[in-house]
Structure 1
């Protein structure tokens, strides 16, 4: 992954192709992060598109107080919360069928791995939204605690405590589902 701030700076300076680099580098992770908040893949994809449209049209200033990815995910988080407020009366949609099975040389092994991932995503989706968000940021998107704290607007102690509680809740959920728990 290239440095998103460099690509975004080039875009702001007039290089229209540079925004494509930002989108290519960050769209998948941003979609999944937004999904961890709102629980609907289609809405998550639309929200990520809205974030990139905001970058393209509004051209918000990235001041460098954090990593570019942290700044971008904060915009995504705010967009996800906007969506949640607008659809507060709509019920959650199941994760079943949200992910396709990847193709590869060992289809059976890939299928089993995909099933584990689906079970983990389903278990994470059953947790409190804060737990789901912190697990997504730390374990799926590889943010450190400080960056996750900036995105979620929490202190480092709050993030540590939240992560501890989230891992325990996930462990309980996986045990309830009689799933394998390799530990986090």
Structure 2
């Protein structure tokens, strides 16, 4: 997936994402060792500088990037994981339950980062069971039901629209939205 330019921020960062015994910096650079290191063992200075710049831009709250990643809050751990994948320079970044286990302030910061990445042209896919999160972030929402696509909704869709598709109820026509608005991405 990395070779294809796809990055995944897993919903379970503690088990499937981070290496808690390693430092913040080591957690960020580990996915890039294959392409940006000396013999695949240690990151180059330029890679370390780029990792530190990413951590700075994401406003990681830490005394040092050499401290264990396990010492950080959930929101800061999520940002470390994001920095790891951004360092690989992906074409597509997928967020699976991106705000699971992080506080409200960190959620707002992460939403800003996700929107900023999309504005920069990075393809962003968000999977979330929290409907207001999806509706606030997405240009389009694809609803799945019984292992198939039940429908696609544009930005501005309501929770009711999503729930109707998810339940199999045909939504009633609305005057405030044209038929050709579905599927358009801004």
Q: Do these two structures clear the TM 0.5 threshold for a shared fold by scoring above it?
A: no
Q: TM-score, normalised by structure 1?
A: 0.31
By percentage of residues, which structure has more strand?
2
By percentage of residues, which structure has more helix?
1
Q: TM-score, normalised by structure 2?
A: 0.31
